[in-house]
Amino acid sequence: MAEIVTHPASPVESASAPSVTHVDALPPGTRLAEFEIQGLLGVGGFGLVYRAYDTSLQRTVAIKEY
């Protein structure tokens, strides 16, 4: 199940995305409905968080996979 958060990224966050890797992460370019995965933001005890682009709202969002 994925939780979708639609807070736009600040210019500072957009400029320097962290380099996070995980063996189970979706690769950049993967499409989930209107969302296109751009990369992995973080991994924690409750799942993975992706940076994605919402093509319908035309903005960057975070998607949590758990």
pLDDT tens column, 5-31: 555 554 444 445 556 778 889 999 999
Predicted confidence band of residue 59 (pLDDT cuts 50, 70, 90): very high
Say whether pLDDT at 36 is over 50. yes
Model pLDDT, residue 56: 97
Q: What is the mean pLDDT of the segment spanning 28-48? A: 95
C-alpha 40/C-alpha 55 separation (Å) is: 18
Domain ranges of the chain: 2-65
CATH 3.30.930.10 given to domain 2-65:
no
Phi, psi at residue 14, to the nearest 5°?
Answer: -65, -35
How do beta strands 47-54 and 35-44 pair? antiparallel
